[in-house]
């Protein structure tokens, strides 16, 4: 019996003529199993399941640039965290009110300049935004960062979104 595999909206569908399994792409975590009448049915049902799951998450977002806790958990399971990125996120999670300056984030990660922290945070934000289909306003570092933190205009501190903090807690990263 042949196996059909395809990537659909960040998920791996592995299907045959009787069933399908849906995995989060890049992860070995099985999301669901689907019983089907034939291969086409297996693929159609899998895509419908993914569309429903992601549609519900989009509706639950408090802002279009902020994901849900479940969404962040999924993304963080797939993304690779370097030691420095992990140190930065843990320090940020533990900070009072989840607020730190770029210089403080850089120090926590072991980088010499605040520019390093800003660059790494925006890269993380871009990876997260693209995987969760978040709508960010612009393409600069601040725009991408808005997927994981907000910037206090008075202090220039980054405040980690509560959903990100809860996702880190759920994964025992924070």
pLDDT digits (tens, 9 = 90+) for 32-44: 999 999 999 999 9
**Per-residue pLDDT at 96:** 95
Q: What is the pLDDT of residue 84?
A: 95
Rounded Cα distance, 6 and 78, in Å: 17
Instruction: Return the beta strands (E) in 36-151 as ranges.
Output: 99-100, 149-151
Q: Are 54 and 93 contained in the same domain?
A: no
Q: Is the pTM of this model over 0.85?
A: no
42 and 85 share one domain: no
Q: Does 8 lie in the same domain as 92? A: no
Task: Give the range of the structural domain holding residue 51, as residue numbers without chain letter.
Answer: 4-60
Whether residue 96 is found in the same domain as residue 45:
no
List of the chain residues with pLDDT < 50: none
The per-residue pLDDT for 26 is 66
Report the pLDDT value the prediction gives residue 103, as an integer from 0 to 100: 96
Are 8 and 89 within one domain?
no
pLDDT at res. 138: 87
- For residues 160 and 93, is the Cβ–Cβ distance under 8 A? yes
Q: Are residues 80 and 162 in the same domain?
A: yes
């Amino acid at each position: 019996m042949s196996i059909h595999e395809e990537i659909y909206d960040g998920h791996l569908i592995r299907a045959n003529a009787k069933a399908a399994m849906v995995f989060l792409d890049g992860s070995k975590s099985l999301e669901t199993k689907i019983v089907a009448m034939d291969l086409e049915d297996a693929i159609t049902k899998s895509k419908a399941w993914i569309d429903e799951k992601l549609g519900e998450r989009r509706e639950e977002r408090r802002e279009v640039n902020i994901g849900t806790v479940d969404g962040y958990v999924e993304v963080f399971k797939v993304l690779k965290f370097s030691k420095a990125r992990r140190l930065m996120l843990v320090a940020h999670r533990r900070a009072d009110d989840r607020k730190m300056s770029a210089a403080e984030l850089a120090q926590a990660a072991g980088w010499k300049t605040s520019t390093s922290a800003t660059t790494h945070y925006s890269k993380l934000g871009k990876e997260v935004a693209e995987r969760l289909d978040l709508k960010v306003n612009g393409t600069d570092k601040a725009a991408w960062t808005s997927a994981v933190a907000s910037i206090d205009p008075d202090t220039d501190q980054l405040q980690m979104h509560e959903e990100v903090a809860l996702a880190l807690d759920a994964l025992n990263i924070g």
